[in-house]
Amino acid sequence: MKRKHFGSILADKTVYILLSVSILGFILYPYLSIFIQSFQEQGIAFSAFIRQDAVLLQHSLFIAILTMVLTVFMSLTLAIFFVFLKSKWQKPLRLFLLVTMVSPPFVTSLAYITLFGRRGMITHDLLNLTFNPYGAHGIILMETLSFTSLNALVLIGMLHQLEPAVINSARSLGAKSDAVIRDMILPLLRPGVIVVALISFIRSLADFQTPTIIGGSYRVLASEGYFAVISAGDLHRAALINFTLCIPALLGFFLYIHYEHTMTTQHHGLSSDTNALPLPKKGWFFPVTCCLAVIFYGALLLQYGSILINAVTVKNMGQLTFSWQPLLDSRMYLDGTILRTVSYALVAGFVGSLISFLIIYYSQIRQSRWMNLIELIGTFPYILPGTFFGLGYLYAFSGQYFHLTNLSIIVIINVTFKQVAFATKAAKAAVAQVEPTYFKTVHDLGGTVLNEWHDVFFPMTRQGFALTFLNGFISTMTTIGSIIFLIRPGQKVMTIVMFDVVQRGEYQIASVIACLIILICLIMAGLVFGILGLKQRRWLHVSRS
Amino acid sequence: MFLEVKDLTKVYQQKNVLHQLSFGVETGEMLVVLGPSGCGKSTLLSCLNGFTQVTSGTVRLLGQEITKAMPEDRDITTVFQSYSLFPHMNVLQNLMYGLKFQKIGKKAAKAKAIKMLQLLQMTEYQTARIQDLSGGQQQRIALGRSLIVAPKLLLLDEPFSNLDEKLRLSMRLELRRLQKELGITMVFVTHDQQEAFAIADRILVMDAGKIQQIATGAELYNQPKNKFVLTFIGEANQLANTAYVRPECIDLRLDTNGQGQIIQKIFQGATINYQVKLPTQTFWITRLNRGAAFEVGDLVTLTYQVQQMEGK
Q: Determine the pLDDT at residue A274.
A: 46
Residue B266: pLDDT over 90: yes
A35 and A66 in a single domain? The answer is no
Per-residue pLDDT of chain A (545 residues; tens, 9 = 90+): 456 678 888 999 999 999 999 999 999 999 888 877 767 766 677 777 777 888 988 999 999 999 999 999 999 999 999 999 988 888 899 888 888 777 777 788 888 888 887 777 777 777 777 777 889 998 999 899 889 998 999 899 888 888 888 899 999 999 999 999 999 999 999 988 988 898 898 889 888 889 988 888 899 998 988 888 888 888 888 888 888 888 887 887 777 777 766 655 444 444 444 455 688 998 999 999 999 999 999 988 988 888 898 889 887 777 778 888 888 888 888 888 999 999 999 999 999 999 999 999 999 999 999 999 999 999 888 777 788 888 888 888 887 666 666 677 889 999 999 989 889 988 998 898 888 888 888 888 878 888 889 988 999 999 899 999 999 999 999 888 888 888 887 788 999 999 888 888 888 899 999 999 999 999 999 999 888 876 655 544 333 32
Domain with CATH 3.40.50.300 in chain B: 3-227
A448 phi and psi angles, rounded to 5 deg: -115, -175
Say which DSSP state A225 is in.
H
- Between the alpha carbon of residue B138 and those of residues A513, B87, B122, B129, B144, the distances in Å are 57, 11, 11, 10, 10
Q: State the sign of the Cα–Cα–Cα–Cα dihedral B98, B101, B103, B105.
A: positive
- Between the alpha carbon of residue A12 and those of residues A9, A22, A133, A357, the distances in Å are 5, 15, 57, 14
**Residue A401: how many other CB atoms lie within 10 Å:** 6
Chain B interface includes A186 (CB < 8 A): no
Chain B interface includes A170 (CB < 8 A): yes
Angstroms from A160 CA to nearest CA on chain B: 15
Position A503 in a domain:
no
Q: Determine the pLDDT at residue A536.
A: 59
Q: Determine the pLDDT at residue A485.
A: 82
Chain A interface includes B90 (CB < 8 A): no
Chain B interface includes A429 (CB < 8 A): no
Question: What is the pLDDT averaged over residues B54-68?
Answer: 95
Q: Among residues A515, A355, A491, A349, which one has the least CA distance to residue A427?
A: A355
Distance CA B307, CA B249 (A): 10
- C-alpha dihedral (A271, A274, A278, A284), degrees to nearest 10: -50
Please state the length of chain A.
545
Tens digits of residue pLDDT in A205-247: 888 889 988 888 899 998 988 888 888 888 888 888 888 888 8
- Residue of chain A with shortest Cα separation from B131: A268
A239 and A352 in a single domain? The answer is no
Task: Sheet containing B299-303: give its strands across.
Answer: B251-254, B299-303, B260-267, B271-277, B282-288
> Percent helix, strand, coil in chain A (nearest 5)?
75, 0, 20
B200 phi and psi angles, rounded to 5 deg: -85, 145
Q: Determine the pLDDT at residue A2.
A: 57
| CB environment B62-92: b (16+ within 10 A), e (fewer) | eeeebbeebbbebebbbbbbbbbbbbbbbbb
Position A336 in a domain:
no
Distance CA B182, CA B147 (A): 9
Q: Which helix (H) or strand (E) holds B153?
A: strand B153-157
- The 3-state DSSP class for residue A315 equals strand
Domain that holds residue A132: 43-323
A195 and A153 in a single domain? The answer is yes
Write out the DSSP string of A228-270.
Answer: HHHTT--HHHHHHHHHHHHHHHHHHHHHHHHHHHHHHH---S-
Question: Would you call A268 and B76 a contact, using CB atoms and an 8 Å cutoff?
Answer: no
- C-alpha dihedral (A502, A507, A510, A514), degrees to nearest 10: 110
Strand B153-157 with B3-12, pairing: unpaired
Nearest to A270 among B46, B98, B162 (CB): B162
A193 and A237 in a single domain? The answer is yes
Distance between terminal CA atoms of chain A?
A: 36
Judged by average pLDDT, the poorest of A275-279, B26-30, B165-169 is: A275-279
A152 and A214 in a single domain? The answer is yes
- Residue of chain A with shortest Cα separation from B94: A170
A34 and A51 in a single domain? The answer is no
ipTM entry: 0.78
Position A331 in a domain:
no
Q: Among residues A60, A219, A67, which one has the least CA distance to residue A148?
A: A67
Strand B56-61 with B30-34, pairing: unpaired
- The 3-state DSSP class for residue B224 equals coil
Say which DSSP state A41 is in.
S
Distance CA A90, CA A276 (A): 14
A26 and A70 in a single domain? The answer is no
Please state the length of chain B.
312
Distance CA A29, CA A192 (A): 33
Write out the DSSP string of B277-301.
Answer: E-SS-EEEEEEE--S----TT-EEE
Chain B interface includes A87 (CB < 8 A): no
Half-sphere exposure of residue A436: CA atoms within 13 angstroms, side-chain side: 8
Nearest to B98 among A174, A268, A272 (CB): A174
- The 3-state DSSP class for residue A321 equals strand
Distance CA B16, CA B57 (A): 13
Question: Which residues 157-186 in chain B show a CB within 8 A of chain A?
Answer: 162
Chain B interface includes A179 (CB < 8 A): yes
Question: Would you call B70 and A173 a contact, using CB atoms and an 8 Å cutoff?
Answer: no
Q: Among residues B264, B310, B258, which one has the least CA distance to residue B285?
A: B264
Side chain identity at B109, as an amino acid letter?
A
Tens digits of residue pLDDT in B98-130: 998 988 999 999 999 999 999 888 999 999 999
Q: Determine the pLDDT at residue A264.
A: 52
- The 3-state DSSP class for residue A134 equals coil
Last residue of a domain, one of A493, A511, A535: A493
Last residue of a domain, one of A294, A323, A352: A323
Q: Determine the pLDDT at residue A117.
A: 76
| CB environment A159-195: b (16+ within 10 A), e (fewer) | beebbbbbbbbbbbbbbbbebbbebbbbebbebbbbb
The burial class, CB within 10 Å (0-12 / 13-18 / 19+), for B304 is middle
Question: Would you call B72 and A171 a contact, using CB atoms and an 8 Å cutoff?
Answer: yes
Strand ranges (DSSP E) for A290-379? Answer: 313-316, 319-322
CATH, domain range B237-308: 2.40.50.140
Residue B285: pLDDT over 90: yes
A35 and A47 in a single domain? The answer is no
Q: Among residues A106, A537, A126, which one has the least CA distance to residue A320?
A: A126
Side chain identity at B10, as an amino acid letter?
K
A97 and A70 in a single domain? The answer is yes
Domain with CATH 2.40.50.140 in chain B: 237-308
Note the Cα A41 to chain centre separation in Å: 33
Structural domain count of chain A: 2
Position A512 in a domain:
no
Position A518 in a domain:
no
Question: Would you call B102 and A280 a contact, using CB atoms and an 8 Å cutoff?
Answer: no
Q: Which helix (H) or strand (E) holds A460?
A: helix A458-460
Distance CA B219, CA B23 (A): 17
Strand A313-316 with B15-25, pairing: unpaired
User: What's the fold here for domain B3-227?
Assistant: Rossmann fold (3.40.50)
What CATH number is associated with residue A310? 1.10.3720.10
Tens digits of residue pLDDT in B9-20: 999 888 889 999
Last residue of a domain, one of A477, A493, A509: A493
Say which DSSP state A398 is in.
B
Position A540 in a domain:
no
Selected residue of B46, B52, B80 to mutate for chain A interface (largest A Cβ count, 10 A):
B80
Position A458 in a domain:
yes
Q: Which residues contact B289 (CB under 8 A, 6 or more apart)?
A: B267, B268, B269, B270, B271, B272
A359 phi and psi angles, rounded to 5 deg: -60, -45
Q: What is the CA radius of gyration of chain A?
A: 25
Question: Which residues 264-303 in chain B show a CB within 8 A of chain A?
Answer: none
A17 and A57 in a single domain? The answer is no
Share of chain B above pLDDT 90, in %: 68
The burial class, CB within 10 Å (0-12 / 13-18 / 19+), for B24 is middle
Res. B24 pLDDT band, cuts 50 70 90: very high
Chain A interface includes B220 (CB < 8 A): no
A309 and A290 in a single domain? The answer is yes
Side chain identity at A395, as an amino acid letter?
Y
Question: What is the pLDDT averaged over residues B300-304?
Answer: 93
Side chain identity at B89, as an amino acid letter?
M
Nearest to A272 among B76, B81, B138 (CB): B81
**Residue B310: how many other CB atoms lie within 10 Å:** 11
Q: Determine the pLDDT at residue A42.
A: 67
Say which DSSP state A83 is in.
T
Question: Which residues 14-43 in chain B show a CB within 8 A of chain A?
Answer: 42
A441 and A422 in a single domain? The answer is yes
- The 3-state DSSP class for residue A442 equals helix
Position A89 in a domain:
yes
